[in-house]
Structure formats: structure tokens, C-alpha cells
């Protein structure tokens, strides 16, 4: 019985460990396998705990096979924890490179009490923060109905905040045709940000419309937030966009084409008073920045979105790529990408970052060596709290640094 139990622990530990270092499976078409790999990568404790139990049981039962498998899983689980210090230092350097030496000095001291004080990699600290956050959630608020298609948003508000607060518009991923607001564990991110004092609006967009319908819907959401600022105690001059994957693409496009008449919002009406669509910052995680780099296939998402393949509609691919809209004066941009992402390769973010910096746009690039597609998805995982540490500070630098200068 001891041998069997030890062998089970060993197989599980080694399996999880090997899955965490295996080349990435693409989200399409191997979605479940890719998600399992993401969980294995972001929770090395799974391999460590089962490996430790298997090693003890294996040695007790003199099962060298079980002990060897357990030791392998245990070692693979420990591996990213050994690397985390160097990665934390690299992320701190990236923030310094993007925002300047001494950038944190521009954030008022009272805001540092809201932040985690280190790049956390444990589960309990973030979980305790989420449990303590005093947040009110209002779901399924209708904000538009383009072509009769109702679009709704979820609102996360800090319960005890006083005065006007910055707003964050969150755009979900899902290859433009899947997903929903507050999807998967991202509702926890919304709750986290609301706990920091922000009003968070997690929005829908049409999953059936061709380009530029999704972009028009996101722009409509930004206009709705600005038009309803007084109702939700929002400062209309402090709004940021956050998007992941396809949502990151839409967030970048909405930020970079704000008020462009070639890209009107879906709720546009000539009789309505003009509403500014601009935002003060954009955060994009593993976003397709240049759709011309996408491995387009007949019948695939990008083919449906743009109405053809790159050689058939090259102008559509160019116009729908955030990198082609880069120019001086764009809002500060935080780019996050896992270096082992096969769904959206890191080349997208590297190209965007280089283009933004060449244009003089304030840009921060966070690169996670072991990160896969969805690298920031788990707030109680290995990387999620590390990224959130810098996201919190980036947003505070954007929204509050001017107050510190006054």
C-alpha cells in the first residue's frame, strides 16, 4: 500500500513538473491542455507538495522508482522559485527603464499602504487581501445595444472610497469570438483593483460582429463610463484600459485611435453631445500587436474577424494592428508577455515596445521567462502576484503622481 501511494505521488509530481517545463501547447485547438499546463506552471507547489510526500513515502517503502519520480517533480517545482529573485529584479529594472529613476517617489506615501510590499509568490497573502477587500459588485448593467445586440458590464466599486476615483475599463480575451466579462478568474483581478480604490468596469463586446465591431463596442464602453462618471463617483479625466489577449488588442486599438473619426464607437449618434474617448493609460497582456504576424488560416478567428487572409485584405490587417497606429503623444503603455507564449508569440509585444519607444511614448515591458498565454491569470499563482505588484504601482504613478507634485 505504501509503495502504491508513493508511486501515485511520484507520478503526479513528475507529471506536473514535466508539464510545467514542456514547450507550450497553443490555446487553439488544445485549450484544455494549455490551461492545465498554465496551472502547472503557475502553481509549482503542486509538484513540490506531491513530490515531498512521494519522496517520504518512497523512502519509507524502499520504492526507488517512486522516490526518483518524486525527487524529479520536487526539483522541477523548486526551479522557478530559485529563479524568481532574478526575475523580480528584472521587472524592477523594467519599471525603472520605462518610468525613470526614482519614479516611485512621485507616488504619495499613503498609497503605498494599499500595495503589496514585495513581489509575492505565495497563495495566502493575495488570498487574504482579496478576502479583506471591501468591494461592491453590480452585474449586468446595460451600456449599449448596437444592432439590437445588448452589451453589459460588471461594476466593481470600493466600498469606503471618498471623493472621485479613477476608473479602469477591463476588456476580456477569447480570440474575439469567445469569452465574457469577469471571465475565469479575472473577476478576482477586478475585485483586487477595486480594493485599491479604483472603479472597475468589466465590459462585453460583440462576439459575432466583424471588424471593427468589437473595437466600436469597447469605445462605446469608454464613452459610457465617461458619460456616467458622476453617477459612479469617477474622475472622467483619469481612465485606464486593461485588456488581455484579444482584449489587449482591443484595448490598445481603443487607446491609440481615440476620437479618430475612422473608428467611431458603436453608440455614436450625431445628435449626441461630443464625448472624449481618450484614456490616460493602457495595460495590455499578451496582446496581438501586429495582426500581420498572425498565422492566419482559412476559417480561423482572424479570417472571420477581418474577412479574409493577409494577402487578400492586407489593408484590413494593417489598419487593425495597434503597432501601425503608434505616434507621439499616446498614453503610457504597460506591456506584459510570457516568453513561452505560443498562442501570441512575444514578438508581438517586442515589436510594439520598440515602436512605442521610438515614438517617445512612455512604455514599460514586463517579460516573464517561464510565462505562457494567460500568465497573469492566477492571482494566487506564481506569477500573478508578481505582475500585480507592478500593475498597482504603474496605475498609481499614472493617476496620482501629479497630486504628489502639487
* Cα distance between the two ends of the chain: 70
- Give the per-residue pLDDT at 122: 61
Contact 325, 282 (CB under 8 A): no
Digit-coded pLDDT (tens) for 119-140: 665 666 787 888 888 899 999 9
What's this model's pTM, rounded to 2 decimal places? 0.93
Average pLDDT, the chain: 90
At residue 404, does pLDDT exceed 50?
no
Q: Is 341 a catalytic residue?
A: yes
CA nearest 16: which of 68, 75, 67, 82?
Answer: 75
Q: Is 202 a catalytic residue?
A: no
Span 350-359, mean pLDDT? Answer: 98
Q: Which of 245, 266, 321, 349 is catalytic?
A: 245
Q: Which of 290, 341, 376, 392 is catalytic?
A: 341
What's the CA gap between 30 and 21, in Å, rounded? 17
At residue 405, does pLDDT exceed 60?
no
- How far is CA 262 from its chain centroid? 27
Cβ count near 393 (within 10 Å): 20
Domain ranges of the chain: 2-84, 88-405
The dihedral built from the CA positions of residue 63, 66, 69 and 75, taken in this order, carries a sign that is negative
Q: Which helix (H) or strand (E) holds 390?
A: helix 384-405
Q: What percent of the chain has pLDDT over 90?
A: 65
| Domain 88-405 classification at class level | alpha beta
What's the CA gap between 315 and 298, in Å, rounded? 18
Copy the grid coordinates of residue 273: 453631445
DSSP labels for 153-220?
A: EEEEEETT--S-EEEEEEE--STTTS--TT-TTHHHHHHHHHHTT-EEEEE---SSPPTTHHHHHHHH
Provide the pLDDT confidence category of residue 23 given band limits of 50, 70 and 90.
Answer: confident
Q: Which of 373, 376, 390, 392 is catalytic?
A: 373
Q: What percent of the chain has pLDDT over 70?
A: 95
At residue 261, does pLDDT exceed 70?
yes
Q: Is 321 a catalytic residue?
A: no
Amino acid at each position: 500500500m505504501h509503495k502504491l501511494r508513493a508511486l501515485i505521488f511520484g507520478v503526479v509530481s513528475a507529471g506536473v513538473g514535466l508539464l510545467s517545463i514542456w514547450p507550450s501547447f497553443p490555446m487553439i485547438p488544445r485549450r484544455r491542455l494549455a490551461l492545465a499546463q498554465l496551472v502547472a506552471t503557475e502553481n509549482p507547489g503542486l509538484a513540490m507538495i506531491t513530490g515531498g510526500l512521494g519522496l517520504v513515502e518512497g523512502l519509507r517503502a524502499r520504492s526507488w522508482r517512486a522516490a526518483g519520480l518524486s525527487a524529479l517533480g520536487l526539483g522541477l517545482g523548486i526551479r522557478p522559485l530559485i529563479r524568481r529573485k532574478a526575475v523580480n529584479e528584472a521587472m524592477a529594472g523594467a519599471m525603472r527603464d520605462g518610468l525613470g529613476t526614482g519614479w516611485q517617489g512621485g507616488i504619495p506615501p499613503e498609497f503605498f499602504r494599499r500595495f503589496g510590499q514585495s513581489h509575492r509568490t505565495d497563495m495566502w497573502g493575495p488570498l487574504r487581501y482579496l478576502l479583506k477587500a471591501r468591494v461592491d459588485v453590480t452585474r449586468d448593467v446595460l451600456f449599449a445595444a448596437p444592432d439590437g445586440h445588448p452589451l453589459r458590464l460588471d461594476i466593481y466599486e470600493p466600498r469606503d472610497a471618498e471623493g472621485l476615483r479613477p476608473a479602469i475599463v477591463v476588456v476580456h480575451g477569447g480570440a474575439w469570438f469567445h469569452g465574457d466579462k469577469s471571465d475565469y478568474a479575472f473577476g478576482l483581478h477586478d475585485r483586487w483593483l477595486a480594493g485599491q480604490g479604483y472603479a472597475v468596469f468589466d465590459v462585453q463586446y460583440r462576439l459575432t460582429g466583424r471588424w471593427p465591431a468589437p473595437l466600436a463596442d469597447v469605445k462605446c464602453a469608454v464613452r459610457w463610463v465617461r458619460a456616467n462618471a458622476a453617477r459612479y463617483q469617477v474622475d472622467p479625466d483619469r481612465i485606464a484600459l486593461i485588456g488581455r489577449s484579444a482584449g489587449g488588442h482591443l484595448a490598445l486599438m481603443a487607446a491609440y485611435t481615440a476620437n479618430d473619426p475612422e473608428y467611431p464607437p458603436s453608440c455614436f449618434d450625431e445628435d449626441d453631445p461630443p464625448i472624449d474617448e481618450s484614456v490616460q493609460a493602457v495595460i495590455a497582456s499578451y496582446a496581438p500587436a501586429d495582426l500581420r504576424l498572425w498565422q492566419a488560416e482559412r476559417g480561423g478567428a482572424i479570417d472571420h474577424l477581418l474577412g479574409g487572409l493577409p494577402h487578400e485584405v492586407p489593408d484590413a490587417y494593417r489598419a487593425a494592428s495597434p503597432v501601425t497606429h503608434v505616434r507621439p503623444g499616446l498614453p503610457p503603455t504597460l506591456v506584459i508577455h510570457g516568453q513561452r507564449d505560443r498562442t501570441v508569440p512575444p514578438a508581438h509585444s517586442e515589436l510594439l515596445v520598440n515602436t512605442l519607444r521610438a515614438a517617445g511614448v512612455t512604455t514599460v515591458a514586463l517579460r516573464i521567462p517561464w510565462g505562457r498565454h494567460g500568465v497573469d491569470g492566477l492571482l494566487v499563482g506564481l506569477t500573478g502576484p508578481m505582475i500585480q505588484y507592478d500593475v498597482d504601482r504603474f496605475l498609481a504613478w499614472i493617476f496620482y503622481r501629479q497630486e504628489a507634485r502639487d
